């Protein structure tokens, strides 16, 4: 059977697949697209072999997974696609309703950590479909991620207070934030190490090619989005796709706070595949 590989259907994964196409890497895989919540569920239900999943989903299922080395979706400060849009300053959100996008558990938990630990605030949270105007009809603030956050930032940021959660996390901890990791089901890793090596090498080479040609990547992405290429260059430059020691330290700190607040049962081990 061909490996079943998840693909986040957000612009943040566009550089990876641009490079694969331009470099003509021929990966014999079944590519299955979805938002982070979809991929979390599909990997857990053994409908995928490996996928980029939410960091919090790895923490909930780490006994069943190993992590791909050297690859993540992270930020050293601003991530530019995980935003809290608020009618009032963030310091005034204690006891106020906040609408949370229903397509990302990691960012939901990140916001709750920042509000509780950094601002000593206890807003009232509820989940919502990611449509900013509708969210703000019922809430004082709204959390959006991915393409929804990018579009809202481009069109509506001058009307609201806007907070980048990657920047808030760095201000609070001094550490990078890892939003997604590449997780592999253990049984697949045990039986398909050579295939995983090839996938990892091609993904890493593809990403480096895209980062070296970031303006071309942004122009191509802008053909499919209502966003200008210079806006996307700025966005892609903010993203980090490695998984070095600093990123791992930031992820473990995120897990430590998530455990303190009762969002996960224990601080997960980072079981990184040795290839």
d(CA 22, CA 74): 24
Q: How many CB atoms lie within 10 A of CB 15?
A: 25
Which of 147, 173, 199 finishes a domain? Answer: 173
Q: Does residue 267 sit within a domain?
A: no
CB-facing half-sphere around the CA of 210: CA atoms within 13 A: 30
Q: Are residues 169 and 181 in the same domain?
A: no
Q: How many CB atoms lie within 10 A of CB 200?
A: 19
Provide the domain count of the chain: 2
d(CA 192, CA 172): 40
Q: The domain that contains 9 carries what CATH number?
A: 3.40.190.10
Q: How many CB atoms lie within 10 A of CB 17?
A: 15
Q: Are residues 188 and 249 in the same domain?
A: yes
Q: Does residue 131 sit within a domain?
A: yes
For the stretch 51-82, pLDDT in tens is 999 999 999 999 999 999 999 999 999 999 99
For the stretch 120-175, pLDDT in tens is 999 999 999 999 999 999 999 999 999 999 999 988 767 899 999 999 999 999 99
Structural domain range at position 68:
4-76+177-260
Q: Does residue 265 sit within a domain?
A: no
Q: Are residues 184 and 162 in the same domain?
A: no
Q: Is-contact 125 119, C-beta < 8 A?
A: no
d(CA 249, CA 135): 34
């Amino acid at each position: 059977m061909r490996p079943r590989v998840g693909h986040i259907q957000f612009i943040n994964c566009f550089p990876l697949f641009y490079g694969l196409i331009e470099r003509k890497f021929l990966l014999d895989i079944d590519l299955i697209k979805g938002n982070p919540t979809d991929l979390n569920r599909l990997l857990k239900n053994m409908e995928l072999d490996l996928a980029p999943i939410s960091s919090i989903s790895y923490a909930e299922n780490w006994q069943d997974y190993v992590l791909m080395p050297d690859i993540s979706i992270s930020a050293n400060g601003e991530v530019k696609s995980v935003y809290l849009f608020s009618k009032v300053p963030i310091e005034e959100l204690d006891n106020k309703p906040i609408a949370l996008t229903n397509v990302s558990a990691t960012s939901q938990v990140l916001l709750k950590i920042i509000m509780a630990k950094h601002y000593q605030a206890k807003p009232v949270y509820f989940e919502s479909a990611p449509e900013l105007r509708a969210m703000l009809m019922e809430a004082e603030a709204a959390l959006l991620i991915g393409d929804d956050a990018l579009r809202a930032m481009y069109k509506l940021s001058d009307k609201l207070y806007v907070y980048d959660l990657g920047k808030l996390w760095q201000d609070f901890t001094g550490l990078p934030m890892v939003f997604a990791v590449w997780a592999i089901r253990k049984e697949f890793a045990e039986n398909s190490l050579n295939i995983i090596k090839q996938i990892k090498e091609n993904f890493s080479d593809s990403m480096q090619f895209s980062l070296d040609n970031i303006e071309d990547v942004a122009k191509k992405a802008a053909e499919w989005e209502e966003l200008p290429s210079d806006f996307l260059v700025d966005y892609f430059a903010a993203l980090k796709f490695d998984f070095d020691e600093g990123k791992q330290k930031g992820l473990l700190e995120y897990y430590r706070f998530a455990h303190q607040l009762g969002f996960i049962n224990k601080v997960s081990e980072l079981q990184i595949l040795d290839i």
